[in-house]
C-alpha cells in the first residue's frame, strides 16, 4: 500500500471528524498572539530556516509558534492521522499537488477572508500559484513559493566538452545534441526522472495535454498525438544512451550523480539548490527548459493552509501573513530553497544575488510567464503514482510506449472518475 | 559461524567508518574508504541538528517503563492461554494469531482517537501505553509456547496446594519460563528503542518524541552532511549494542539452563 493510497483511506476517516467541526459563522477566532502549531516537511537544515522564521515572527510581536518539522516521507502520514483523530496542527504547509483531498473533506478553512483581515493584498503575489491553490472558487491556502522546472548544468563538464552555455529558448534537438556531446567515459549527458511532473512541460510544449479538462478531469490524454509525441521524443533520447543506465540509477540518485560529476545535466525545481551549494568544487548553474514547440514549464508550489479545526484562526492568519510578507519571504529566500511568491522579494537581491550559485536565478522568474500546473483534483496523488510507475517501465525497462500508455488509461481513468 | 557474523557486522562497520568521513564532500561511489583524517567533530555536530540529549532521555524513559510492563502482561496472558482448556484455549490462540494479521497502519487512527479521549496523547510515555496491551501478540504466543512445556500436573498441583492464580504465575511459571522472559525483554527493548512510526502518529509535540524519530528526520539530511547523520546513527545504536553486550551473558546462561 503506497503512502498515498493510505492517505486516501485515512482522509476518508478524517471526513467524519472534519464535518463535526465544520467552520461556522461563530467559529472561535482566538487571540492574535495565541500559541499555534505549524506542521511542515523539512529536512534538518530547512528546519533551521523555519526556526529562524518563527523567532523573527516573535521578535516582530507575534505569538509562540510550535514547529512540527517532519521528514519528507512522513509529512502526509502524520497530517492525515492527525486530521482523522482531531489532533490537527493549526497551520500546515503543503504542495498544491497534494492539498485537494484535504479541501474535499472539509479539513481546510479557506484562507482568503482571513488574510484580508490581516490587510494582505494578493495582488502583490504571482497569480499562478494563487490559481493552483484556488479550489471550489475560493483561495484555500496561501502560496509560499513559486518554483518551476529548470535544467541544472555543470559548467566544468560543458567547458570540457567545448560547449557554450545553454541559451533561453533552446530547442529539444539542441538539447539532445548537447546531451550526446556531453556523454563521454564515466559521464552521462542528462538525467530524466520518469514522473508526470517532469514530463508535463514537454507535453504542453508539444501542444498536448495530460487530462481532458484541467478544471474537472474525467480521463487522461497521454495517448493522444501531442502528448504521445513528446513522450516518444524522451524515449528516443534515452535510446541514444545519453542518460544513466538502470544500474547507475539504482546505485545513485540523479542529484548525487550530478554532484559527483557523473551527470552533466538534470531537471529539477529550486529545491536542489541548498544541497548543491554545499558541494565544494561543484560549479553549476541553471538554464531554461528546452522547447519542443512553445515555451512551457510546470509549477512547483507549497502553501500555508489553516486547518478547519483550528481554534486560533486569528493567530494562524497573523503568522501566515508574516511568513509570506516581506520579512518572512526574505528569511526563506536566503535559505536558498524557495523562489518567493511575493513579487517584490523574488526580484530582490535576497533571491537574485549572483554571489551564491546558481548565478542565473533569473531563469526561475523568466519561466513564470509560461508556467502551468497539473490538475488539482482529489485523486491526483494516486494518478501521479500510476503514471510514474508506468513511465518508469517505458524509460528504464524498454517497455513499448503504447503498451504503457494503454496501461495508464486503464488504471488512471477510473481514479479520475471516482472523484 | 564467525564468517557469518562478519556479514552481519559489516553494516555496523560501514556506519562507524562513514561517521568519521569529512562532511561537505561529494557523495562517495559505493562504499566509503578508510577515513583520512578521522573527523571526530561530526559527533559534536549532531546536537546542532537535533536535541540529542533530550530525545535520548525520552527513549530511555520509554524503554524503562514499557519493557517491564510488556513482560508482565504478555507472560500473564501466555499463562492464561496454557491454563485454559479445549475450545477456549483454541479461541485465545486464534485471537492472538488474528491480531498479528492486522496491519499496523489500520490501528493508527483508532489508537490516537482513544488516547486523546483519555487525555494521554501527548506525553513522552504515550507510546509505552502500548505495553499495557502487550505490545504485540507475538510475545504472548512466545510465552504460551514456553509455558506449554511445563508439566500440566505441576500447575494443577500448585493450584491444589491453595496457591492463587497470581502466585502460580509468580512462583511457578515465571521462574520456569525465564528464557522466554529474557527473550521478550530483549525483543521489546529493541522495539521501543527503534520505533518511530508509533510516536510519529501518536505523539503531538516534537519535544516528547523518542530519539529514533529524530534520527529518521536526520536521515533526510543533504548528501553532503551524511557523515553527521551516520554519527547520529552510531550514537543511537551504541546504547542498544551496549545493552546487548551486558545482557547476552545472562541471556545465553538462562537458555542453556533450561
For residue B127, how many C-alpha atoms fall within 13 Å in the half-sphere facing its CB? 32
State the count of interchain CB pairs (< 8 A) between A and B.
95
Cβ of A77 within 8 Å of Cβ of B27? The answer is no
Separation between Cα atoms, residue B74 and residue B136, nearest integer Å: 9
Q: Is the pLDDT of residue B226 over 90?
A: no
**Minimum CA–CA partner of B121 in chain A:** A87
Nearest residue, CB atoms, B200 vs list A37, A74, A87: A74
A340-368: pLDDT as tens digits: 999 999 999 999 988 889 999 999 999 99
Separation between Cα atoms, residue A95 and residue A108, nearest integer Å: 14
Is the Cβ–Cβ distance between A256 and A265 less than 8 Å? no
**Minimum CA–CA partner of B222 in chain A:** A275
C-alpha cell of residue B207: 519535544
Does residue A43 lie in a domain region?
Answer: yes
CA distance B195 to chain A (A): 14
| Residue A413 and residue A323 share a domain | no
Cβ of B108 within 8 Å of Cβ of A66? The answer is no
Does residue A405 lie in a domain region?
Answer: yes
Contacts of range B152-161, beta carbons closer than 8 Å, 24 or more positions apart: B155/B82, B155/B83
* Mean pLDDT of the region B146-165: 90
| Residue A413 and residue A276 share a domain | yes
Give the number of other CB atoms < 10 A from CB of residue A72.
Answer: 12
Give the number of other CB atoms < 10 A from CB of residue A335.
Answer: 17
C-alpha cell of residue A113: 477572508
Does residue A235 lie in a domain region?
Answer: yes
**Minimum CA–CA partner of A67 in chain B:** B206
On chain B, the residues whose CB falls within 8 A of the CB of A47 are: 217
| C-alpha closest to that of A268 among A367, A181, A412 | A367
Q: Which of A236-245, B112-121, B239-248 has the highest mean pLDDT?
A: A236-245
Cβ of A279 within 8 Å of Cβ of B121? The answer is no
Domain B50-256 indexed as CATH 1.10.3720.10: yes
A40-67: pLDDT as tens digits: 998 888 888 999 999 999 999 999 999 9
Cβ of B217 within 8 Å of Cβ of A43? The answer is yes
On chain A, the residues whose CB falls within 8 A of the CB of B121 are: 85, 87
| Residue A282 and residue A161 share a domain | yes
Give the number of other CB atoms < 10 A from CB of residue B132.
Answer: 12
Q: What is the residue range of A105's domain?
A: 36-146+301-359
Contacts of range A165-168, beta carbons closer than 8 Å, 24 or more positions apart: A165/A285, A165/A287, A166/A287, A166/A288, A166/A290, A167/A287, A168/A287, A168/A288, A168/A363, A168/A366
- Domain containing A112 — which CATH number? 3.40.190.10
**Minimum CA–CA partner of A66 in chain B:** B205
Cβ of B26 within 8 Å of Cβ of A1? The answer is no
* Mean pLDDT of the region B54-60: 94
A121-165: pLDDT as tens digits: 999 999 999 999 999 899 999 999 999 999 999 999 999 999 999
Q: Which residue has the cell 564515466?
A: A186
B112 touches chain A (CB under 8 A): yes
C-alpha cell of residue A216: 474537472
CA distance A70 to chain B (A): 7
pLDDT of the residue at A139? 96
* Mean pLDDT of the region B218-245: 87
Suggest the residue from A7, A85, A255 to mutate for an interface test with chain B (most B CBs closer than 10 A): A85
On chain A, the residues whose CB falls within 8 A of the CB of B25 are: 279-280
pLDDT of the residue at B249? 73
pLDDT of the residue at B139? 95
Start-end of H helices in B20-151: 41-49, 52-83, 86-101, 104-117, 137-147
pLDDT of the residue at A11? 58
- pLDDT-derived band at A21 (thresholds 50, 70, 90) equals very low
On chain A, the residues whose CB falls within 8 A of the CB of B216 are: 71, 74
CA distance A101 to chain B (A): 17
- pLDDT-derived band at B255 (thresholds 50, 70, 90) equals low
| C-alpha closest to that of B72 among B124, B126, B132 | B132
Q: Where are the domains of chain B?
A: 50-256
A247-273: pLDDT as tens digits: 888 888 898 899 988 999 999 999 999
> Could you write out the DSSP letters of every residue in A105-144?
TT-EE--HHHHHHTT--GGGB-HHHHHHTEETTEE-SEE-
Question: Dihedral (C-alpha) B46, B51, B56, B62: value to the nearest 10 degrees?
Answer: -150
Does residue A6 lie in a domain region?
Answer: no
A211-242: pLDDT as tens digits: 999 888 999 999 999 999 999 999 999 999 99
Number of domains in chain A: 2
Crossing angle of the two packed helices B52-83 and B211-218, in degrees rounded to 10: 120
Peptide bond into A26 cis (omega under 30): no
**Minimum CA–CA partner of B200 in chain A:** A78
Cβ of B205 within 8 Å of Cβ of A66? The answer is yes
pTM: 0.85
| Residue A220 and residue A322 share a domain | no
Does residue A208 lie in a domain region?
Answer: yes
Cβ of B220 within 8 Å of Cβ of A251? The answer is no
Cβ of B224 within 8 Å of Cβ of A43? The answer is no
On chain B, the residues whose CB falls within 8 A of the CB of A10 are: 108-109
Read off the DSSP letter of residue B173.
I
On chain B, the residues whose CB falls within 8 A of the CB of A107 are: none
- pLDDT-derived band at B30 (thresholds 50, 70, 90) equals low
Does residue A17 lie in a domain region?
Answer: no
Give the number of other CB atoms < 10 A from CB of residue A240.
Answer: 13
Q: Is the pLDDT of residue A4 over 60?
A: no
Does residue A314 lie in a domain region?
Answer: yes
Q: Which residue has the cell 510516536?
A: B199
Does residue A7 lie in a domain region?
Answer: no
| Residue A101 and residue A62 share a domain | yes
pLDDT of the residue at B23? 81
pLDDT of the residue at A6? 55
| Residue A399 and residue A250 share a domain | yes
Q: Is the pLDDT of residue B79 over 60?
A: yes
* Mean pLDDT of the region B232-256: 80
pLDDT of the residue at A12? 57
Is the Cβ–Cβ distance between B89 and B158 less than 8 Å? no
Suggest the residue from A87, A186, A307 to mutate for an interface test with chain B (most B CBs closer than 10 A): A87
- pLDDT-derived band at A1 (thresholds 50, 70, 90) equals very low
Amino acid at each position: 500500500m503506497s503512502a498515498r493510497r493510505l492517505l486516501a483511506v485515512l482522509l476518508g476517516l478524517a471526513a467524519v471528524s472534519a464535518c463535526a467541526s465544520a467552520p461556522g459563522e461563530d467559529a472561535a477566532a482566538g487571540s492574535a498572539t495565541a500559541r499555534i502549531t505549524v506542521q511542515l516537511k523539512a529536512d534538518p537544515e530547512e528546519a533551521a530556516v523555519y526556526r529562524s522564521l518563527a523567532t523573527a515572527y516573535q521578535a516582530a510581536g507575534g505569538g509562540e509558534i510550535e514547529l512540527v518539522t517532519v521528514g519528507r516521507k512522513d509529512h502526509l502520514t502524520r497530517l492525515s492521522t492527525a486530521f482523522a483523530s482531531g489532533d490537527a496542527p493549526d497551520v500546515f504547509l503543503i504542495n498544491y499537488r497534494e492539498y485537494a483531498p484535504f479541501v474535499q473533506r472539509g479539513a481546510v478553512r479557506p484562507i482568503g477572508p482571513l488574510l484580508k483581515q490581516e490587510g494582505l493584498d494578493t495582488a502583490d503575489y504571482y497569480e499562478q500559484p494563487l490559481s493552483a491553490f484556488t479550489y471550489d472558487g475560493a483561495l484555500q491556502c496561501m502560496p509560499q513559493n513559486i518554483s518551476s522546472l529548470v535544467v541544472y548544468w555543470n559548467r566544468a563538464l560543458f567547458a570540457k566538452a567545448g560547449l557554450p552555455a545553454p541559451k533561453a529558448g533552446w530547442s529539444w534537438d539542441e538539447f539532445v545534441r548537447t546531451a550526446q556531446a556531453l556523454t563521454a567515459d564515466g559521464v552521462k549527458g542528462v538525467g530524466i526522472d520518469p514522473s508526470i511532473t517532469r514530463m508535463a512541460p514537454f507535453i504542453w510544449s508539444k501542444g498536448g495535454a495530460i487530462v481532458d479538462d484541467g478544471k474537472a478531469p474525467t480521463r487522461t490524454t497521454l495517448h493522444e498525438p501531442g502528448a504521445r509525441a513528446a513522450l516518444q521524443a524522451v524515449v528516443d533520447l534515452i535510446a541514444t544512451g545519453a542518460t544513466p543506465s538502470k544500474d547507475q540509477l539504482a546505485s545513485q540518485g540523479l542529484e548525487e550523480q550530478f554532484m559527483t560529476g557523473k551527470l552533466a545535466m538534470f531537471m529539477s525545481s529550486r529545491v536542489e539548490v541548498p544541497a548543491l551549494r554545499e558541494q565544494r568544487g561543484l560549479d553549476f548553474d541553471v538554464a531554461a527548459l528546452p522547447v519542443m514547440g512553445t515555451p512551457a514549464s510546470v509549477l512547483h508550489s507549497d502553501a500555508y493552509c489553516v486547518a478547519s479545526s483550528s481554534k486560533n484562526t486569528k493567530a494562524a492568519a497573523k503568522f501566515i501573513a508574516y511568513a509570506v510578507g516581506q520579512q518572512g519571504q526574505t528569511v526563506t529566500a536566503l535559505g536558498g530553497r524557495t523562489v518567493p511568491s511575493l513579487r517584490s522579494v523574488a526580484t530582490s537581491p535576497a533571491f537574485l544575488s549572483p554571489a551564491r550559485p546558481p548565478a542565473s536565478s533569473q531563469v526561475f522568474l523568466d519561466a513564470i510567464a509560461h508556467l502551468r500546473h497539473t490538475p488539482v483534483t482529489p485523486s491526483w496523488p494516486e494518478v501521479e503514482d500510476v503514471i510514474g510507475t508506468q513511465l518508469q517501465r517505458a524509460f528504464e525497462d524498454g517497455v513499448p510506449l503504447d503498451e504503457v500508455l494503454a496501461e495508464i488509461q486503464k488504471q488512471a481513468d477510473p481514479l479520475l472518475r471516482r472523484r | 559461524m564467525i564468517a557469518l557474523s562478519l556479514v552481519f557486522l559489516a553494516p555496523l562497520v560501514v556506519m562507524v567508518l562513514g561517521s568519521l568521513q569529512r562532511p561537505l564532500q561529494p557523495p562517495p561511489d559505493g562504499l566509503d574508504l578508510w577515513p583520512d583524517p578521522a573527523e571526530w567533530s561530526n559527533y559534536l555536530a549532531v546536537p546542532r541538528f537535533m536535541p540529542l540529549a533530550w530525545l535520548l532521555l525520552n527513549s530511555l524513559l520509554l524503554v524503562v517503563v514499557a519493557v517491564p510492563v510488556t513482560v508482565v502482561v504478555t507472560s500473564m496472558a501466555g499463562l492464561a492461554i496454557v491454563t485454559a482448556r479445549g475450545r477456549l484455549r483454541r479461541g485465545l490462540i486464534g485471537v492472538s494469531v488474528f491480531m498479528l494479521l492486522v496491519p499496523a497502519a489500520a490501528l493508527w487512527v483508532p489508537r490516537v482517537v482513544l488516547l486523546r479521549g483519555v487525555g494521554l496523547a501527548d506525553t513522552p510515555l504515550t507510546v509505552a501505553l502500548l505495553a499495557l496491551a502487550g505490545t504485540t501478540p507475538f510475545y504472548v504466543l512466545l510465552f504460551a509456547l514456553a509455558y506449554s512445556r511445563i508439566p500440566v500436573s505441576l500447575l494443577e498441583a500448585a493450584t491444589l496446594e491453595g496457591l492463587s492464580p497470581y502466585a502460580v504465575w509468580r512462583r511457578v511459571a515465571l521462574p520456569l519460563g525465564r528464557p522466554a522472559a529474557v527473550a521478550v525483554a530483549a525483543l521489546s527493548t529493541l522495539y521501543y528503542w527503534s520505533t518511530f512510526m508509533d510516536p510519529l502518529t501518536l505523539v503531538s509535540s516534537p519535544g516528547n518524541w523518542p530519539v529514533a524519530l529524530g534520527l529518521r528526520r536526520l536521515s533526510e539530511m543533504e548528501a553532503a552532511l551524511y557523515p553527521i547523520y551516520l554519527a547520529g546513527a552510531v550514537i543511537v545504536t551504541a546504547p542498544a549494542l551496549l545493552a546487548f553486550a551486558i545482557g547476552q551473558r545472562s541471556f545465553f546462561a538462562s537458555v542453556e539452563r533450561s
